[in-house]
Amino acid sequence: MATGATEFIDNTTADVFIPEIWSTLAIVAREAQLVFAKLVDRKFEDGLVKGDKIHVPNISDLAARAKSANQAITYETVTETNTTITVDQHYYAAIAVESITKVQSDRDQLSAYAGKLGYALGLNVDDALASRVEADWSGQTVGTLAAENTYHDYLRAIQYLDDANASPDSRYFVISPAAEVGLLKMDTYINNDYTNIHGTGRDTSLEKAYISSFLGVPVYKSTNVDGSNSAGHDNTFFQREAQALIMQMTPDMHTMFDIDYFADKVAIEQLYGEQVMRSDHGVWIKGA
């Protein structure tokens, strides 16, 4: 023990008496708005109760032919193809907590991570659908990566779908926050004089991700569109039937106590398949 006129009991000498407190709160990782699974086509799910593939046949247009007098008509022979949706995406998320940790921890670890288990699986599906933009819409693109899009880009995207006779219903823009900044600089987007070309388009099930309507089309913002602020994002414009999603097994939770390890175990699994059904019903909007 040191003595002297300038010696005091300070935080260094009294360190053993100063507790370090752990907050009962936590900094929880932020989650992206997941929108793709709610916007794509889900009508094929009921057809795949068993099995791992569903074949969806195509029906082509027929030709109108001129009838010649006193001549037999010609019957058209059509050989159709099909689009196959394969359900082979089996994913899970799991955690286990030992009994000693459960007893001595100041919070319920299983409850703390329950929501994160579900989010992990939701993010997995969203990632699979978002990755289709660059891979499958490359035949129909507008804009430049890492650059803000123009009014003409959005008009051209709409024209792509109109040229493909895509249904005017259930069309969506899904864009990054950076792309929204570009929109907010457009007079046609923010000026009330143009509200007649916007419409409402609100989908209450996606209300948090919905930001507005533009050119009569609902606009959804998500940080989970592929890309980055530096490299640009794979924003998109599509009609619902462009992509199909089959959730053959929606997230299913399993719990158990493992006596060999004295641990509570929780696992969630899902089984799904996704497929592009109409490649001309989607546009890759290269942008910010």
72-88 tens-digit pLDDT = 999 988 898 999 999 99
CA angle 172, 175, 178 (to 5 degrees): 155
Q: What is the pLDDT of residues 40-99, one digit of tens each?
A: 999 998 877 888 999 999 999 899 999 999 999 999 888 989 999 999 999 999 999 999
Residue 24 lies in a domain: no
Residue 117 lies in a domain: yes
Residue 204 lies in a domain: yes
Residue 28 lies in a domain: no
Question: Considering the chain, what percentage of its residues have pLDDT values greater than 70?
Answer: 92
Q: Domain tally for the chain?
A: 1
Residue 25 lies in a domain: no
Q: Are 80 and 60 in contact (CB under 8 A)?
A: yes
Strands 282-287 and 232-239: antiparallel
Question: Considering the chain, what percentage of its residues have pLDDT values greater than 90?
Answer: 67
Domain with 183, as residue range(s), is 36-59+74-287
Among the ranges given (93-107, 187-201, 203-217, 224-238), the one the predictor scored with the smallest mean pLDDT:
187-201
Flag whether pLDDT at 201 surpasses 60: no
Q: Are 237 and 173 in contact (CB under 8 A)?
A: yes
Residue 18 lies in a domain: no
Cα→Cα distances 35→63, 119, 135, Å = 40, 13, 19
The pLDDT score that the predictor gives to residue 99 is 94
Cα→Cα distances 274→41, 49, 84, 87, 241, Å = 10, 16, 10, 7, 12
Flag whether pLDDT at 1 surpasses 80: no
The pLDDT score that the predictor gives to residue 20 is 83
- What average pLDDT does this structure show over 201-218? 71
Given its phi and psi angles, is residue 51 left (phi above 0), alpha (psi -120 to 50 degrees) or beta? left
Q: What is the pLDDT of residues 126-151, one digit of tens each?
A: 999 999 999 999 999 999 999 999 99
Mean pLDDT, the chain, whole residue set:
90
Cα–Cα dist 274/223, whole Å: 21
Q: Model confidence at 9, in pLDDT bands (50, 70, 90)?
A: confident
Flag whether pLDDT at 208 surpasses 70: no
Flag whether pLDDT at 2 surpasses 60: no
3-state secondary structure of 276: strand
- What average pLDDT does this structure show over 199-223? 74
Q: Which CATH number characterizes residue 99's domain?
A: 3.90.1690
Flag whether pLDDT at 185 surpasses 70: yes
Residue 7 lies in a domain: no
Flag whether pLDDT at 13 surpasses 70: yes
Residue 66 lies in a domain: no
